[in-house]
Amino acid sequence: MRIVKEAEARRNEILDAADELFGQKGFDGTSTNDILSKVGIARGTLYHHFKSKEDIMDALIERYSSKMLGAAQAIALDTTIPVVERILRAVMAMNISSGNGGESSREIMEHIHRPQNALMHQKIQKIIVNGVPPILTPIVREGIQQGVFNTPYPYESMEMIIIYANTIFDEEMVEMTGEVRMSRILAFIANVERLLGAEVGSLMSVMQAFGGDRGDERGNE
Protein backbone atom coordinates (compact mmCIF):
# COMPACT_ATOMS: atom_id res chain seq x y z
CA MET A 1 0.00 0.00 0.00
CA ARG A 2 0.96 3.56 -0.45
CA ILE A 3 1.22 5.94 2.44
CA VAL A 4 2.24 9.50 1.74
CA LYS A 5 3.94 11.51 4.43
CA GLU A 6 5.74 14.76 4.72
CA ALA A 7 9.29 14.63 3.53
CA GLU A 8 10.72 15.50 6.94
CA ALA A 9 8.76 12.76 8.68
CA ARG A 10 9.75 10.17 6.10
CA ARG A 11 13.37 11.20 6.30
CA ASN A 12 13.37 10.70 10.03
CA GLU A 13 11.66 7.34 9.71
CA ILE A 14 14.43 6.24 7.38
CA LEU A 15 17.10 7.64 9.66
CA ASP A 16 15.63 5.92 12.70
CA ALA A 17 15.57 2.58 10.90
CA ALA A 18 19.10 3.07 9.59
CA ASP A 19 20.27 4.07 13.06
CA GLU A 20 19.05 0.82 14.53
CA LEU A 21 20.20 -1.37 11.64
CA PHE A 22 23.65 0.17 11.41
CA GLY A 23 23.94 -0.37 15.14
CA GLN A 24 22.99 -4.01 14.87
CA LYS A 25 24.74 -5.05 11.68
CA GLY A 26 27.10 -2.24 10.84
CA PHE A 27 27.03 0.04 7.83
CA ASP A 28 28.44 -2.44 5.33
CA GLY A 29 26.40 -5.25 6.83
CA THR A 30 23.17 -3.35 6.33
CA SER A 31 21.73 -3.41 2.82
CA THR A 32 19.43 -0.77 1.48
CA ASN A 33 16.85 -3.54 1.20
CA ASP A 34 17.07 -4.01 4.96
CA ILE A 35 16.21 -0.37 5.45
CA LEU A 36 13.51 -0.52 2.81
CA SER A 37 11.65 -3.40 4.37
CA LYS A 38 12.06 -2.04 7.88
CA VAL A 39 10.52 1.29 6.95
CA GLY A 40 8.07 -0.32 4.55
CA ILE A 41 8.85 1.76 1.49
CA ALA A 42 10.12 1.08 -2.02
CA ARG A 43 13.61 1.60 -3.41
CA GLY A 44 12.68 4.70 -5.31
CA THR A 45 11.33 6.34 -2.19
CA LEU A 46 14.56 5.94 -0.33
CA TYR A 47 16.52 7.43 -3.18
CA HIS A 48 13.99 10.22 -3.43
CA HIS A 49 14.93 11.32 0.08
CA PHE A 50 18.62 10.43 0.09
CA LYS A 51 21.05 10.47 -2.76
CA SER A 52 23.03 7.46 -1.60
CA LYS A 53 23.53 5.04 1.25
CA GLU A 54 26.45 7.07 2.50
CA ASP A 55 24.23 10.13 2.43
CA ILE A 56 22.05 8.40 5.01
CA MET A 57 25.07 7.85 7.21
CA ASP A 58 26.10 11.47 6.90
CA ALA A 59 22.63 12.64 7.86
CA LEU A 60 22.69 10.30 10.83
CA ILE A 61 26.03 11.64 11.97
CA GLU A 62 24.86 15.19 11.50
CA ARG A 63 21.74 14.59 13.55
CA TYR A 64 23.75 12.98 16.30
CA SER A 65 26.72 15.30 16.46
CA SER A 66 24.74 18.52 16.42
CA LYS A 67 22.89 17.34 19.50
CA MET A 68 26.12 16.21 21.11
CA LEU A 69 28.05 19.40 20.52
CA GLY A 70 25.03 21.52 21.30
CA ALA A 71 24.63 19.92 24.71
CA ALA A 72 28.30 20.42 25.48
CA GLN A 73 28.22 24.01 24.28
CA ALA A 74 25.24 24.81 26.48
CA ILE A 75 27.10 23.68 29.57
CA ALA A 76 30.32 25.34 28.50
CA LEU A 77 28.59 28.71 28.39
CA ASP A 78 27.19 28.41 31.92
CA THR A 79 29.84 30.40 33.77
CA THR A 80 28.19 29.81 37.12
CA ILE A 81 29.69 26.33 37.23
CA PRO A 82 33.28 26.07 38.48
CA VAL A 83 35.71 25.45 35.64
CA VAL A 84 36.85 21.93 36.46
CA GLU A 85 33.34 20.73 37.12
CA ARG A 86 32.13 22.48 33.98
CA ILE A 87 34.62 20.64 31.79
CA LEU A 88 33.61 17.36 33.35
CA ARG A 89 29.93 18.01 32.84
CA ALA A 90 30.42 19.18 29.28
CA VAL A 91 32.26 15.98 28.46
CA MET A 92 29.64 13.86 30.16
CA ALA A 93 26.87 15.63 28.29
CA MET A 94 28.40 14.39 25.07
CA ASN A 95 28.74 10.75 25.97
CA ILE A 96 25.24 10.19 27.25
CA SER A 97 23.01 10.58 24.20
CA SER A 98 21.51 14.03 23.98
CA GLY A 99 20.95 14.40 27.71
CA ASN A 100 17.17 14.49 27.80
CA GLY A 101 15.69 11.13 27.00
CA GLY A 102 16.02 11.45 23.27
CA GLU A 103 14.54 8.53 21.40
CA SER A 104 16.59 8.84 18.26
CA SER A 105 20.33 8.75 17.76
CA ARG A 106 20.42 7.11 21.13
CA GLU A 107 22.12 3.96 20.11
CA ILE A 108 24.59 5.25 17.62
CA MET A 109 27.49 5.87 19.94
CA GLU A 110 27.26 2.44 21.50
CA HIS A 111 27.79 0.70 18.21
CA ILE A 112 30.17 2.99 16.45
CA HIS A 113 33.25 1.26 17.68
CA ARG A 114 33.10 -1.78 15.45
CA PRO A 115 35.24 -2.81 12.52
CA GLN A 116 32.25 -2.74 10.21
CA ASN A 117 31.61 0.87 11.02
CA ALA A 118 35.10 2.13 10.36
CA LEU A 119 34.01 4.95 8.13
CA MET A 120 31.34 6.15 10.52
CA HIS A 121 33.81 5.93 13.35
CA GLN A 122 36.29 8.01 11.41
CA LYS A 123 33.75 10.66 10.53
CA ILE A 124 32.57 11.02 14.11
CA GLN A 125 36.16 11.05 15.33
CA LYS A 126 36.83 13.92 12.99
CA ILE A 127 33.86 15.85 14.30
CA ILE A 128 34.95 15.30 17.88
CA VAL A 129 38.57 16.21 17.24
CA ASN A 130 37.65 19.40 15.44
CA GLY A 131 34.51 20.28 17.36
CA VAL A 132 35.16 19.63 21.02
CA PRO A 133 38.41 21.50 21.73
CA PRO A 134 36.95 24.83 20.56
CA ILE A 135 34.15 24.36 23.05
CA LEU A 136 36.30 23.40 25.99
CA THR A 137 39.29 25.66 25.47
CA PRO A 138 37.51 28.84 26.65
CA ILE A 139 36.83 27.10 29.94
CA VAL A 140 40.51 26.26 30.25
CA ARG A 141 41.42 29.89 29.59
CA GLU A 142 39.04 30.89 32.33
CA GLY A 143 40.79 28.43 34.61
CA ILE A 144 44.14 29.92 33.73
CA GLN A 145 42.92 33.38 34.69
CA GLN A 146 41.65 31.98 37.97
CA GLY A 147 44.99 30.32 38.62
CA VAL A 148 43.51 26.82 38.57
CA PHE A 149 45.34 25.90 35.37
CA ASN A 150 48.63 26.98 33.91
CA THR A 151 49.63 26.27 30.33
CA PRO A 152 50.81 28.32 27.38
CA TYR A 153 48.95 25.96 25.04
CA PRO A 154 45.37 25.58 26.27
CA TYR A 155 43.95 24.58 22.90
CA GLU A 156 46.60 22.05 22.00
CA SER A 157 46.54 20.54 25.48
CA MET A 158 42.79 20.15 25.33
CA GLU A 159 43.08 18.65 21.89
CA MET A 160 45.55 16.10 23.14
CA ILE A 161 43.34 15.20 26.07
CA ILE A 162 40.25 14.77 23.91
CA ILE A 163 41.98 12.72 21.25
CA TYR A 164 43.61 10.45 23.76
CA ALA A 165 40.49 9.88 25.82
CA ASN A 166 38.41 9.25 22.75
CA THR A 167 40.84 6.66 21.43
CA ILE A 168 41.92 4.86 24.54
CA PHE A 169 38.50 4.40 26.04
CA ASP A 170 37.35 2.84 22.80
CA GLU A 171 36.69 -0.83 23.43
CA GLU A 172 37.69 -1.88 19.94
CA MET A 173 40.93 0.03 19.91
CA VAL A 174 42.52 -1.05 23.14
CA GLU A 175 41.24 -4.07 24.95
CA MET A 176 41.36 -3.64 28.69
CA THR A 177 40.30 -5.56 31.73
CA GLY A 178 38.70 -3.76 34.62
CA GLU A 179 41.89 -3.30 36.63
CA VAL A 180 43.98 -2.09 33.73
CA ARG A 181 41.20 0.27 32.87
CA MET A 182 41.22 1.75 36.34
CA SER A 183 44.95 2.32 36.27
CA ARG A 184 44.64 3.94 32.87
CA ILE A 185 42.10 6.33 34.28
CA LEU A 186 44.34 7.24 37.18
CA ALA A 187 47.28 7.83 34.87
CA PHE A 188 45.03 9.80 32.56
CA ILE A 189 43.95 12.15 35.30
CA ALA A 190 47.54 12.67 36.43
CA ASN A 191 48.58 13.41 32.86
CA VAL A 192 45.74 15.85 32.39
CA GLU A 193 46.90 17.66 35.51
CA ARG A 194 50.37 17.95 34.02
CA LEU A 195 49.15 19.13 30.66
CA LEU A 196 46.81 21.76 32.02
CA GLY A 197 49.23 22.69 34.77
CA ALA A 198 46.75 21.93 37.52
CA GLU A 199 47.86 21.19 41.03
CA VAL A 200 48.65 17.52 41.62
CA GLY A 201 45.56 15.73 42.86
CA SER A 202 43.27 18.68 42.24
CA LEU A 203 41.39 16.99 39.39
CA MET A 204 41.20 13.70 41.17
CA SER A 205 39.45 15.17 44.16
CA VAL A 206 36.97 17.11 42.04
CA MET A 207 36.13 14.03 40.01
CA GLN A 208 35.51 11.92 43.08
CA ALA A 209 33.41 14.59 44.73
CA PHE A 210 31.47 15.17 41.56
CA GLY A 211 30.98 11.98 39.65
CA GLY A 212 31.73 9.08 41.95
CA ASP A 213 31.38 6.01 39.76
CA ARG A 214 30.65 7.99 36.63
CA GLY A 215 33.27 10.35 35.31
CA ASP A 216 35.11 8.82 32.41
CA GLU A 217 33.86 5.30 32.68
CA ARG A 218 31.80 5.19 29.56
CA GLY A 219 31.51 1.87 27.82
CA ASN A 220 31.32 -0.43 30.84
CA GLU A 221 27.98 -1.73 29.68
Partner DNA sequence: CCATTACAGACCGACTGTCTGTCGGTTATA
Partner DNA sequence: TATAACCGACAGACAGTCGGTCTGTAATGG
Q: Kindly state whether residue 33 participates in binding DNA, applying the rule CB under 7 A.
A: yes
Cβ-in-10-Å burial (0-12, 13-18, 19+) of 203 comes to buried
Can you say whether residue 41 is alpha, beta or left, with left for phi > 0 and alpha for psi between -120 and 50 degrees?
Answer: beta
The rounded distance, in Å, linking the Cα atoms of 204 and 216 is 12
Q: CB under 5 to 8 A by kind: which of DNA, a second copy, none does 81 bind?
A: none
- Give least dist CB 62 to DNA, A: 17
Q: CB under 5 to 8 A by kind: which of DNA, a second copy, none does 30 bind?
A: DNA
Q: How far is CA 192 from CA 5, 68, 167, in A?
A: 50, 23, 15
The residue range among 43-51, 99-107, 118-126, 137-145 that interacts with a second copy, by the rule CB under 8 A, is: 118-126
Q: By three-state DSSP, how is residue 99 classified?
A: coil
Region 1-20 residues binding DNA, contact defined as CB under 7 A: 1-7, 10
The DSSP output letter for 213 is T
Region 73-132 residues binding DNA, contact defined as CB under 7 A: none
Site string for a second copy, 173-202 (x = CB under 8 A): xx---------x--xx-xx--xx-x-----
Residues that bind DNA in the complex, under the rule CB under 7 A: 1-7, 10, 30-33, 40-45, 47-49, 51-54
Residues that bind a second copy in the complex, under the rule CB under 8 A: 115, 118-119, 121-123, 125-126, 129-130, 152-153, 155-157, 159-160, 163-164, 167-168, 172-174, 184, 187-188, 190-191, 194-195, 197
